[in-house]
Amino acid sequence: MPHPSPISGNQSVRESNRDLEIESIDFFVRMMSMLGMPRSVGEIYGLLYFSTTPLPMDQIVSRLGISLGSASQGLKTLRSLKAVRTSYVPGDRRDHYLAETEFRRLFANFIKEEIMPHMESAKERIERMEDSLSGTDEQTDEFYQIRIEKLKKLTRAGGRLLPALAGLLKF
Amino acid sequence: MPHPSPISGNQSVRESNRDLEIESIDFFVRMMSMLGMPRSVGEIYGLLYFSTTPLPMDQIVSRLGISLGSASQGLKTLRSLKAVRTSYVPGDRRDHYLAETEFRRLFANFIKEEIMPHMESAKERIERMEDSLSGTDEQTDEFYQIRIEKLKKLTRAGGRLLPALAGLLKF
DNA sequence: TGCTAATTTCATTTTTTTTTGAAAACTTTG
DNA sequence: CAAAGTTTTCAAAAAAAAATGAAATTAGCA
C-alpha cells in the first residue's frame, strides 16, 4: 500500500479530484508562506479552493490530517482575511466553509489589513527620527536629513501605490 | 548608569546620533521582517543606513551586540540582495560595508531575485493541475477548469505587474 | 432548560528558524 | 612562506513560530 495518505476521508472520490487537490494545497501553501502565513492556513485554503461543495471543519481536519485546533485557528485567520466565508447548509448545525476565489478582493483586503497598518507606524517612527536629530553638527545633520527624506518618500510611495495596486489588477 | 546599552563601541559620539540609529534599526528590523528577513539582517541594514562612514564587520558586531557568525551571515544576505556593498578603505585590510540607499533599485532586485522564481514554479504547478484533470465528469471538470483559469490569471497578472511596479516607483 | 454537538481557547509539545561560537579557510603582508 | 588578521562555515544551543489536544465555552435542539 503505497502512500497511506493522511488525506483520505469518507467523501466519495467522485466529489474531488485528489491529484488536483494535492497540487492546489501545495500551490497555496507556498503562496501563503510567501505572505508569511503558516502552513495550515495554506492547506485549508488550498483544499477549499478546489472543493465543489462547502466543507465543515471536521471534514477539513480529516482530509488534511491536521488538528482541530489548527483548523479552528487557520479558519479564523482566513475569515479575518475574508479568504473564506461560511455558508448555511440546511439540516446541519456545523458551519460549512467556502473559499473566496476573487483574488482581487483578497488582495485588496490583505493590503488594507496587513500592510497599511505597518505603513502608519512607519510614518510615526520617521517623525520620531526627525525629533531626535541633534542639531549640533550641521554637516552630519544634513546627511541624516537626506536619509530621513528618503524614508519619507519610500513610505509615501508605498502608502499610495499599494492600495492603487489592488484596483489596477484586472484579473 | 542607566541603559548599559549593548550598542557602545569605540566610535566617537560625534560620528553617530544614537537615538537616530536606534530608531533606524527598529524601523528596518520591522520592515525586513515583513519581507521575511531575520532580525539580524534588519539590524545590520538599519545600522548602516544612518552611518556616515562605511563600517567593518567587527564594528557592526560590537555596535549591535550580535555574534560574528550572525554578522557574516546577515551581510551575505544583504550582499545577495544588493542592499549593501563593500568599499575600499586605504590602509585597512578589513572589508567596509555601506548601505545601498536607493530603494527603487533594492526593490527591483528583490522582486527579481525573491519573487519571480516563485512565479515560475507556480506556473509549472498550474500546468500539472491541468494535466491531472480527470476528464470523467464534465460538470465538475468545468468547475475545476474555471478555478485553474483564475490561477493562471493571477500568476499572469503577478508576473507582469510586479516587475513593472519597480519601474513605476519614482522615489 | 438541559443535553449534545460544534467550536474556540490556550498551555504544552513539536517543529522550524535564527543565533552563537569556535574551528576551518582564506588573505594580506612582513 | 609563515604569522597574524579577517571572514566563512557549520554543528549545537537558543529562540520563535506553529501544531496539538484537551478543557472551556458557545450554540442548536429536544
Query: Is the Cβ of A13 closer than 8 Å to some Cβ of chain B?
Result: no
Sheet containing A55-56: order of strands = A55-56, A96-99, A84-87
Cβ atoms of B45 and B78 closer than 8 Å? yes
Sorted by sequence, the CB contacts under 8 Å of residue A12 that are 6+ apart come out as none
Among the partner residues A30, A151, A161, nearest to B118 by beta-carbon distance? A30
Q: What percent of chain A has pLDDT over 70?
A: 89
> What's this model's pTM, rounded to 2 decimal places?
0.89
Asked if A56 CB < 7 A from strand C, the reply is yes
> For the stretch B25-42, what's the b/e string if a residue is b when 16 or more beta carbons lie within 10 angstroms of its beta carbon?
bbbbbbbbeeeebeebbb
Check B17 against A143: CB less than 8 A apart: no
Region B19-32: what's the mean pLDDT? 95
Q: How far is CA B100 from CA B17, B46, B104, B109, B150, in A?
A: 20, 11, 10, 12, 38
pLDDT score for A8: 40
Question: What's the mean pLDDT when you consider all of chain B?
Answer: 88
pLDDT band, very low/low/confident/very high, at B140 (cuts 50, 70, 90): confident
Q: Is it the case that residue A56 has pLDDT exceeding 50?
A: yes
- Beta-sheet pairing, B55-56 with B96-99: antiparallel
Q: Is it the case that residue A5 has pLDDT exceeding 70?
A: no
pLDDT band, very low/low/confident/very high, at B12 (cuts 50, 70, 90): very low
pLDDT score for A27: 97
pLDDT band, very low/low/confident/very high, at A140 (cuts 50, 70, 90): confident
Q: Is it the case that residue B60 has pLDDT exceeding 70?
A: yes
Asked if A95 CB < 7 A from strand C, the reply is yes
Q: Is it the case that residue B11 has pLDDT exceeding 50?
A: no
pLDDT band, very low/low/confident/very high, at A170 (cuts 50, 70, 90): low
pLDDT score for A4: 38
Q: Is it the case that residue A9 has pLDDT exceeding 50?
A: no
Q: Is it the case that residue A148 has pLDDT exceeding 80?
A: yes
Query: Is the Cβ of B164 closer than 8 Å to some Cβ of chain A?
Result: no
Residues of B in contact with A23 (CB under 8 A): 125, 128-129, 132
Q: Is it the case that residue A171 has pLDDT exceeding 90?
A: no
Task: Please tell me the distance from the alpha carbon of residue A80 to that of residue A84, in angstroms, as a whole number.
Answer: 9
Asked if B99 CB < 7 A from strand D, the reply is no
pLDDT band, very low/low/confident/very high, at A60 (cuts 50, 70, 90): very high
Region A96-102: what's the mean pLDDT? 97
Check A118 against B34: CB less than 8 A apart: yes
Task: Please tell me the distance from the alpha carbon of residue A102 to that of residue B47, in angstroms, as a whole number.
Answer: 41
Best mutation site among B12, B14, B17, B107 for testing chain A: the one with the most A CBs within 10 Å?
Answer: B17
pLDDT score for B129: 94
**pLDDT per residue as tens digits for the range B68-82:** 999 999 999 999 999
The spacing between the Cα labelled CA in A169 and the C1' in D23, in angstroms, equals 46
Q: Is it the case that residue B83 has pLDDT exceeding 60?
A: yes
The nt closest to A67 (CA vs C1′) is: D20
DSSP reduced 3-state for B104: helix
pLDDT score for A18: 87
Among the partner residues B23, B31, B132, nearest to A129 by beta-carbon distance? B23
Q: Is it the case that residue B15 has pLDDT exceeding 90?
A: no
Segment 81-140 of chain A within 8 Å of chain B by CB: 101, 103, 115, 118, 121-122, 125-126, 128-129, 132-134, 137, 140
- Per the structure, the residue whose CA is closest to nucleotide C10 at C1' is A69
Residues 37-76 of B with CB under 7 A from strand C: 37-41, 65-70, 73-74
Count of Cβ atoms closer than 10 Å to residue A110 Cβ: 19
Count of Cβ atoms closer than 10 Å to residue A112 Cβ: 13
The nt closest to B29 (CA vs C1′) is: C18
**pLDDT per residue as tens digits for the range B104-113:** 999 999 999 8
